[in-house]
């Protein structure tokens, strides 16, 4: 997989590859992140087998998670967001994005991972704080939550006015359900997570407790951001890969989102204020959040299955 990606990036950027020029730094970050993660897992697994150790040391487990999060998942999510979300959500033009922004993320993320591996606490937290600030700037530049700027369509000369049947502010007719709900939720969770992460770092420098435990932040990053982004973009983009013009059951997109949101609420319930998080309902919801999330995943699978193999639309 990495070999094929590397060969693609080594070719001259012309034709269809020109679209990747702006986000190439993010994809390169992802490629090296995949390589670093895979190598670390092979080395650690070999070490555990050789020493007959049954449990992975806590530090290396955490370090592996950080590699995969900041070196793989985030850069590829940001790259796809830049290229496809302005089209699907009619966001502003990406003229604000410059290639050196991607290189900045690459440098910050790998310096953070380096200092994490060296256990240099202050520098590790400093570069993590800078990464949080970078992400806040990225979200503001994308304008996905604020929508202060006009969409990219206002900058283009449109020969034919858009059909009045399309949904307001969106280029579709509702044939993909409200897929945007999941995307907005994803970026809201990401913004909330980096604010809590950065604020917690600053508080720790003054000897105060963090705003949210590490497990809670991880749920916001992986469940709140990555999972919801995959769900929203997948429902919108994957039907086109097989030549379908709509998803099989648009109402299942909305239903799956609501169930997924319930699972996220349950997963985050232990970190809600004490008087809420200790209520019996939320205790049950936390215990069942994994099962509820799998129900949403099953709905996602069923919808895509009938989209791929059902009658062509």
Distance in angstroms (rounded) separating the CA atoms of residues 189 and 187: 5
Residue 311 near residue 246 (C-beta atoms within 8 A): no
3-state DSSP of 47-85: HHHHHCCCCCCHHHHHHHHHHHHHHHHHHHHHHHHHHHH
10 Å CB burial of residue 186 (0-12, 13-18, 19+) is: buried
At residue 266's C-alpha, the angle toward residues 263 and 268, to 5°, is 110
pTM of the model: 0.89
Q: What is the structure's pLDDT at 59? A: 85
CB atoms within 10 A of CB 38: 14
Residues, the chain, total?
313
In angstroms, what CA-CA distances link 189 with 120, 181, 222? 28, 12, 10
Residue ranges of domains in the chain: 1-171, 172-313
Condensed to tens digits (0 to 9), the pLDDT of residues 144-171 reads: 998 888 887 776 655 555 556 778 888 8
CB 228 within 8 A of CB 244: no
Quick one: pLDDT at residue 66? 94
* CB contact set of 300 (below 8 Å; sequence gap of 6+): 231, 234, 235, 256
Instruction: List Cβ neighbours of 55 (8 Å cut-off, separation of 6 or more).
Output: none
44-60 pLDDT per residue, tens:
888 888 888 877 788 88
14, pLDDT greater than 60 = no
Contacts for 125 with CB less than 8 Å, ≥ 6 apart: 201, 204, 205
Residue entry with tokens 């592996």: 64
Kindly state the average pLDDT of the residues 249-270.
Answer: 93
pLDDT digits (tens, 9 = 90+) for 228-252: 999 999 999 999 888 888 999 999 9
Over 80: is that where the pLDDT of 13 sits?
A: no
CA distance 217 to 132: 12
Mean pLDDT across the chain: 87
pLDDT surpassing 90 at residue 294: yes
Quote the CA–CA distance of 98 and 81 in Å, as a whole number.
14
């Amino acid at each position: 997989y990495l070999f094929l990606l590397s060969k693609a990036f080594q070719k001259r950027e012309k034709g269809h590859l020109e679209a990747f020029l702006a986000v190439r730094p993010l994809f390169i970050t992802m490629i090296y992140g995949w390589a670093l993660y895979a190598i670390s897992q092979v080395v650690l697994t070999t070490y555990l087998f050789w020493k007959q150790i049954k449990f992975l040391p806590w530090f290396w487990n955490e370090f592996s998670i950080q590699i995969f999060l900041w070196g793989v998942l985030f850069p590829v999510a940001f790259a796809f967001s830049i290229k496809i979300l302005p089209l699907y959500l009619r966001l502003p033009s990406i003229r604000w994005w410059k290639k050196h922004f991607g290189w900045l993320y690459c440098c910050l993320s790998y310096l953070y991972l380096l200092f994490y591996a060296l256990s240099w606490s202050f520098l590790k937290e400093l570069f993590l704080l800078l990464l949080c600030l970078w992400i806040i700037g990225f979200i503001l530049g994308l304008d996905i939550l604020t929508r202060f700027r006009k969409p990219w369509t206002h900058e283009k000369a449109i020969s034919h006015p858009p059909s009045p049947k399309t949904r307001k502010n969106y280029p579709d007719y509702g044939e993909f359900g409200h897929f945007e709900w999941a995307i907005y939720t994803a970026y809201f969770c990401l913004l909330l997570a980096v604010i809590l992460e950065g604020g917690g770092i600053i508080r720790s420098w003054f000897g105060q407790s963090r705003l949210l435990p590490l497990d809670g932040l991880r749920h916001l990053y992986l469940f709140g951001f990555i999972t919801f982004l995959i769900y929203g973009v997948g429902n919108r983009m994957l039907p086109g890969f097989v030549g379908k013009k709509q998803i099989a059951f648009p109402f299942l997109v909305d239903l799956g989102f609501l169930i997924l949101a319930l699972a996220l609420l349950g997963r985050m319930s232990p970190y809600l204020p004490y008087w809420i998080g200790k209520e019996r309902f939320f205790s049950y919801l936390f215990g069942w959040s994994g099962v509820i999330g799998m129900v949403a995943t099953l709905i996602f699978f069923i919808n895509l299955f009938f989209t791929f193999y059902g009658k062509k639309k």
